[in-house]
Each structure stands twice: as C-alpha cells, then as structure tokens.
C-alpha cells in the first residue's frame, strides 16, 4: 500500500492555519485523509482560518518544541508529516535571526531525528515533506533555477531554509528516510498574509474599485518573480509524498512577471488603469540581498510527478482582487465562498 491509496491515512500538517496549510488540509481531507493540523499556541492565525478548516483536528504546538513534536508522533502516529510552519517573511527575518534559525532550521533537525527514533521503535515509516524555497538560491545567477543549482542564501530566512534543505537530504541519504524538499517559488492566494506584497497589491486594487484609497508601498516594481497559485502548489506537495521514491522538486510555473505587471493586472481586473496613483515608491523597501529575478525550472516535477501549475497569473491576481472586493462590500472577512 502506498500513500497514493485512497484509504484513511493520517497526515500531520504543521502550520495548518497558514495559507498552504489550509489548502493542503482541504486537499487531503477531500481525498479521505484524517488531518491533524498544528497551530502556534496563542498567537496563531487560526482565528482567521478556522472557517476553512472544518474536519481538521487542530492541536496547539510550537514548532520549536522538539519534545512536543515527539509526543505528537506518538499520539497520532501519522503516515505523513508536511512541515509548512515557518517564520515565513523573508525581509523581516533580519529582525530576529535567532528565532528564524530556531523555527526554520533547528526545529527541522529535531523533527528528522524524531522520525528516525520513531522508526527505530518499529512504529512505522513516515514520509516527510519540507517546505524549502527559491530564496535558497540567493540573487546572483542567470537562467532558470533547478534542483541542482547551487545555494547562495543571503538572508537569515534563506540561510536557515537552505541548511534545513541540506539536512533533509542528509537524513534521506544517511538514514534512508522518505524525506522530500519542495523548492517552492512564490505562490499566492486570497488567503496570503497582509505582510506579503501580492496581498497588499490586491487590497489596494480592491479599495480603488470600491472608491477607497489604500496606497501600496513598494521598493522596486521591476523585479521579476515566478508567481504561482497556492492551490496548485499543495498538489505538488501531495504528489511528492505519494511518489514511489523521495526527492527534491522545484515547484514553479517557469515564467516570470514583474511587480509592475501585477499592479497593472490587479487594477485592470476591476476596470482601472491608474495603479500608479495608488502606489508609493519607497526605495528603502528595496534590499541589496533581494534577487532581481527568480525563475524556476519545474521540469523534474512535470516529468516525475506529472505536476504542472494550472492557474494563470492573470486568473490568480484577478481572483485575489475579487475576494478583496467581496471582503470590503460584504464586510465579511472570511467565508468559504472566497475559496472560489
């Protein structure tokens, strides 16, 4: 029996109240999985995401609590662990590198070690997914980035994610763990946190459409990013753990757009051609450690997992703006109908 079989299997998703955690939990639930999702004690975004997490067994767990993770493994004996929780804001990672390192690296090492001990107790082999990132590649390169591209991380976030990525490979090779890195390029949805730029652009366009003004402050609007839809990317995560061999996969669209494109598409989706009037260029928001362009080469995932992104950039941005308009006009912050 493999994880591809549609029988009741248990998945443990860390960070289930984050954007990806929510989409992945819904995907697995729709395929008959029992899903246990962890949320950060006290400060979690669960209050916001609860309407989307019906049927998910929620437990409080701080990722940095390694012993607590062992207790979760004993209590729920999951077949798969998807580690999505993280200090996920790249720019802000300079504010508390120690917290970032603990959350994004040390916790991953503790989890991998726990999985080895779990197996030694002859409990069962557990498959492990780690949310790696395009940020591990840094900012100096040419062409599309692939699984063998060297890491040159340039922020505390990227340094921690890069080391966690290497740990996953080490544990796979040394301990024969079924452990995979999904090298995720930027992906968005109407449920992306407001600290992220695509979400702020969508909110600004929606506000303009509703006769309001919510200026969006940006650094450099000519940076290129490979933007995809979270709903597509969680399918790639699922396929990685359902595959017969573990590996690392770039999860990307293979095409890039600029922030300027995103602004134009967002405003055009609500019939506006004046995005510049709602833009505040703030050069200090531009960081020298930020890449000018990030483009992924998803051909390994296409070939081996039969996965490819299906949502277009235009549809993604338009959906984000449409949900923001709904939020403003209805006054309802979260609703299942926003899932589309």
**Termini Cα distance of the chain:** 34
Q: Based on the shown chain and the rule CB under 6 A, indicate whether residue 155 belongs to the binding site for ligand NAP.
A: no
Q: Which is nearer to ligand NAP, 209 or 241 (CB)?
A: 241
Q: Which residue has the tokens 């109407």?
A: 190
Of the candidates 38, 114, 133, 256, the residue annotated as catalytic is 133
Q: Which is nearer to ligand NAP, 18 or 275 (CB)?
A: 18
Q: Which stretch binds ligand NAP (CB under 6 A): 84-92, 109-117, 211-219, 284-292?
A: 84-92
- Number of residues counted as binding ligand NAP (CB under 6 A): 25
Contact pattern from residue 264 through residue 303 relative to ligand NAP, giving x for each residue in contact according to CB under 6 A and a dash for the rest: ----------------------------------------
Binding test (CB under 6 A) with ligand NAP, winner from 72, 73, 84, 241: 84
Q: Based on the shown chain and the rule CB under 6 A, indicate whether residue 43 belongs to the binding site for ligand NAP.
A: yes
Query: With contact defined as beta carbons under 8 Å apart, do 129 and 80 qualify?
Result: yes
Binding test (CB under 6 A) with ligand NAP, winner from 114, 139, 186, 253: 186
Note every long-range contact of 191-197, with CB atoms under 8 Å and residues 24 or more positions apart, other chains counting: 191/19, 191/22, 191/23, 191/49, 191/52, 191/230, 191/338, 192/19, 192/230, 192/320, 193/18, 193/19, 193/45, 193/88, 193/89, 195/89, 195/92, 196/89, 197/259
Q: Please enumerate in sequence order all residues whose Cβ is within 8 A of that of 330, keeping only pairs 6 or more positions apart, or say none.
A: none
Query: With contact defined as beta carbons under 8 Å apart, do 173 and 124 qualify?
Result: no
Q: What is the Cα–Cα distance from 242 to 50, expressed in whole angstroms?
A: 27
CB 58 to ligand NAP: min, Å: 12
Q: What is the Cα–Cα distance from 290 to 314, expressed in whole angstroms?
A: 24
Compute CA 93 distance to the chain's CA centroid, rounded to the nearest angstrom: 16
**2 labelled catalytic:** no
Q: Which stretch binds ligand NAP (CB under 6 A): 85-93, 110-118, 234-242, 312-320?
A: 85-93
DSSP line for 191-213: TS-TTSHHHHHHHHHHHHHTT--
Alpha helix stretches (DSSP H) within 89-229: 97-101, 107-120, 156-175, 197-209
Q: Based on the shown chain and the rule CB under 6 A, indicate whether residue 62 belongs to the binding site for ligand NAP.
A: yes
Q: Based on the shown chain and the rule CB under 6 A, indicate whether residue 253 belongs to the binding site for ligand NAP.
A: no
Handedness of CA 94, 100, 105, 108 (dihedral sign): negative
Query: With contact defined as beta carbons under 8 Å apart, do 317 and 266 qualify?
Result: yes
Q: Which stretch binds ligand NAP (CB under 6 A): 121-129, 182-190, 302-310, 318-326?
A: 182-190
Binding test (CB under 6 A) with ligand NAP, winner from 3, 13, 19, 338: 19
Q: Which stretch binds ligand NAP (CB under 6 A): 29-37, 41-49, 211-219, 302-310?
A: 41-49
Query: With contact defined as beta carbons under 8 Å apart, do 124 and 1 qualify?
Result: no
**135 labelled catalytic:** yes
| Two structure tokens written together for 104 | 């994004």
CB 26 to ligand NAP: min, Å: 13
Q: Based on the shown chain and the rule CB under 6 A, indicate whether residue 35 belongs to the binding site for ligand NAP.
A: no
**171 labelled catalytic:** no
Of the candidates 23, 38, 103, 135, the residue annotated as catalytic is 135
Binding test (CB under 6 A) with ligand NAP, winner from 3, 20, 190, 248: 20
- Is 340 in a helix, a strand, or coil? coil
Q: Which stretch binds ligand NAP (CB under 6 A): 42-50, 169-177, 265-273, 280-288?
A: 42-50
List the catalytic residues. Answer: 133, 135, 157
Query: Which residue ranges make up the site for ligand NAP (CB under 6 A)?
Result: 15, 17-21, 40, 43-45, 62-64, 84-88, 103, 131, 133, 184, 186-187, 193
């Amino acid at each position: 029996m493999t994880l591809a079989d549609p029988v009741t299997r248990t998945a443990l998703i860390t960070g289930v109240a984050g954007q990806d955690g929510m989409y992945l939990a819904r995907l697995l639930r729709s395929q008959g999985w029992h899903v246990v999702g962890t949320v950060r004690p006290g400060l979690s975004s669960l209050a916001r995401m609860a309407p989307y997490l019906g049927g998910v067994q929620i437990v409080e767990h701080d990722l940095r609590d390694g012993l607590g993770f062992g207790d979760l493994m004993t209590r729920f004996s999951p077949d798969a662990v998807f580690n999505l929780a993280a200090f996920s804001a790249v720019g802000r990672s300079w504010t508390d590198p120690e917290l970032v390192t603990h959350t994004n690296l040390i916790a991953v090492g503790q989890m991998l070690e726990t999985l080895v001990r779990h197996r030694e107790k002859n409990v069962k082999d557990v498959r492990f997914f780690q949310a790696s990132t395009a940020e591990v590649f840094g900012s100096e390169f040419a062409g599309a980035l692939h699984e063998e591209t060297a890491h040159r991380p340039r922020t505390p976030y990227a340094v921690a994610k890069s080391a966690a990525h290497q740990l996953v490979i080490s544990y796979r090779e040394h301990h024969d763990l079924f452990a995979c890195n999904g090298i995720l390029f930027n992906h968005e949805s109407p449920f992306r946190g407001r600290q992220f730029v695509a979400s702020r652009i969508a909110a600004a366009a929606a506000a303009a459409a509703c006769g309001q003004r919510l200026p969006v402050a940006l650094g450099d609007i000519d940076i290129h990013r490979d933007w995809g839809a979270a709903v597509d990317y969680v399918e790639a995560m699922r396929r990685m753990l359902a595959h017969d061999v573990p590996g690392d996969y770039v999860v990307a669209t293979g095409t890039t757009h600029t922030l300027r494109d995103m602004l134009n598409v967002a405003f055009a989706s609500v019939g506006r051609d004046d995005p510049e009037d709602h833009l505040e260029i703030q050069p200090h928001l531009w960081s020298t450690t930020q890449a000018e362009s990030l483009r992924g080469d998803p051909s390994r995932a296409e070939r081996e997992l039969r996965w490819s992104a299906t949502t277009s950039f235009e549809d993604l941005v338009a959906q984000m703006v449409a949900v923001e308009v709904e939020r403003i006009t209805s006054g309802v912050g979260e609703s299942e109908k926003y899932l589309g």
